[in-house]
C-alpha cells in the first residue's frame, strides 16, 4: 500500500536494527533491553516514550514467561500500540457544520494540507470552503487559490498583510450565507513571535465564538515529520496556546524519522488525525495507530 511504501525509510531505520537484536541476542537480559532502548530513541521515539515501551515490554515478557528474544517481537509491537492509545479518534467535522482551523509554523505543510483536505471532503460531496488567513505570506494565498481551483471549492481571501481575523470573519459570513458544510482555514505561524501568534489565534477564536458558535470546531496543529523531535516540541507548544483537537504529521514520505508519530501520540495524548505521505491530494491519509505500527513492522 501507499502507507507501507511511504514509510520505507522509517521502517529501515527502526526494523532493521530491531531485527538484528532479536536474532543477535540469545538471552533477554539488561544488555538486550539497553540495545533496544537505544534503537527506539535513535528512531525518534524519544526518551519518555521509549522508557514507557521498555517498561511495558519487560512486564509483558515476565507475564508471558518469554525466554527467547525472537519471541518478544510481537510483544514489542503490542507495547508500542498500547503506548499510542489515545481513545477513539473522531472525524465529527465530516458530518456536522464545521470550521476546521489549521495552525503551525511556516513551511510545515499547512496550506497544502488545507488543499488536500478540501479536495477530499469535496469528493465526499460536502460543500467546502477554504479561507486564506495566512495573510503573512503572499505565496500562501496564491497557493491556496490554486488548490481551491483544482478542488473546485470556494475560497475567501484578502490582500497580503490584512488582518487574519477579518478574513475569518468574511469566511464565516460567506459560509453561513452559502450553507457551507465545512469551512477550512489556513493560518500564519510565526512561533518566534509567540505573543503575537497567541493574540492572533485568540482573536480568530473570538470571531468564531461570536459569529459561528453553532459550528463544530476542530483545531489541527500541522507539524513536519522530517524534523523529528522538533515536531513533537512544536505540537506541544501549540497545544499550550490553543485548544488543539488533533495533529497533522506531514512529509513522512522520504524521512527516516517517522517514529515521531509514536512519540507525539504517546506523549501529548492528542490524536494524530492525518499523516502526509506525498504531495498529491490522496497523500493526506487518516491516521490509525495500529495500521501505522503494522506498516512499520511489515
Ligand atoms: P505552510 O507554510 O505550512 O503552508 O507549508 P506548505 O503547505 O506551503 O508546504 C511546504 C512544502 O511542503 C510544499 O512544497 C509542499 O508541497 C510540501 N509538503 C507538504 N506536505 C507534504 C507531504 O506530506 N509530503 C511531501 N513530500 N511534501 C509535502
Q: Is the CB of 224 under 6 A from ligand 1?
A: no
Q: What is the pLDDT of residue 138?
A: 85
The residue among 250, 294, 295, 293 whose CA lies nearest residue 45 is: 293
The mean pLDDT value for 162-167 works out to 96
What the block records as the C-alpha cell of 268 is 501529548
Q: Is the CB of 141 under 6 A from ligand 1?
A: no
The mean pLDDT value for 187-192 works out to 80
Q: Across all residues in the chain, what is the average pLDDT?
A: 94
The mean pLDDT value for 204-226 works out to 97
Per the annotation, binding residues for GTP are: 104-111, 186-190, 250-253
Over residues 84-134, the pLDDT tens digits come to 998 888 999 999 999 999 999 999 999 999 999 999 999 999 999 999 999
- ipTM comes to 0.99
Q: Is the CB of 250 under 6 A from ligand 1?
A: yes
The mean pLDDT value for 33-54 works out to 95
> What pLDDT band is residue 182 in, cutting at 50, 70 and 90?
very high
Amino acid at each position: 500500500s501507499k502507507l507501507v511504501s511511504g514509510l520505507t525509510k522509517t521502517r529501515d531505520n527502526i526494523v532493521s536494527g530491531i531485527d538484528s537484536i532479536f536474532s543477535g541476542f540469545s538471552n533477554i537480559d539488561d544488555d538486550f533491553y539497553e540495545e533496544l532502548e537505544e534503537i527506539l530513541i535513535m528512531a525518534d521515539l524519544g526518551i519518555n516514550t521509549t522508557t514507557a515501551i521498555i517498561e511495558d515490554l519487560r512486564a509483558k515478557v515476565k507475564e508471558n514467561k518469554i525466554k527467547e528474544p525472537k519471541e518478544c517481537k510481537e510483544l514489542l509491537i503490542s507495547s508500542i500500540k498500547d503506548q499510542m492509545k489515545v481513545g477513539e479518534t473522531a472525524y465529527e467535522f465530516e458530518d456536522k457544520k464545521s470550521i476546521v482551523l489549521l495552525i503551525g509554523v511556516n513551511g510545515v505543510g499547512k496550506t497544502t494540507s488545507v488543499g488536500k483536505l478540501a479536495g477530499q471532503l469535496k469528493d465526499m460531496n460536502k460543500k467546502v470552503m477554504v479561507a486564506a488567513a495566512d495573510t503573512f505570506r503572499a505565496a500562501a494565498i496564491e497557493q491556496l487559490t490554486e488548490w481551491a481551483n483544482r478542488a473546485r471549492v470556494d475560497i475567501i481571501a484578502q490582500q497580503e498583510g490584512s488582518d487574519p481575523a477579518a478574513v475569518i470573519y468574511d469566511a464565516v459570513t460567506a459560509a453561513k450565507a452559502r450553507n457551507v458544510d465545512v469551512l477550512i482555514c489556513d493560518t500564519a505561524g510565526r512561533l518566534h513571535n509567540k505573543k503575537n501568534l497567541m493574540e492572533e489565534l485568540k482573536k480568530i477564536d473570538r470571531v468564531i465564538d461570536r459569529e459561528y458558535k453553532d459550528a463544530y470546531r476542530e483545531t489541527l496543529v500541522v507539524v513536519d515529520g522530517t524534523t523529528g523531535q522538533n515536531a513533537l516540541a512544536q505540537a506541544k507548544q501549540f497545544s499550550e496556546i490553543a485548544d488543539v483537537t488533533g495533529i497533522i504529521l506531514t512529509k513522512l514520505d522520504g524521512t527516516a524519522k517517522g517514529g515521531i508519530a509514536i512519540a507525539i501520540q504517546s506523549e501529548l495524548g492528542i490524536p494524530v488525525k492525518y499523516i502526509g505521505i506525498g504531495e498529491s491530494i490522496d497523500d493526506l491519509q487518516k491516521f490509525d495507530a495500529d495500521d501505522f505500527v503494522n506498516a512499520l513492522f511489515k
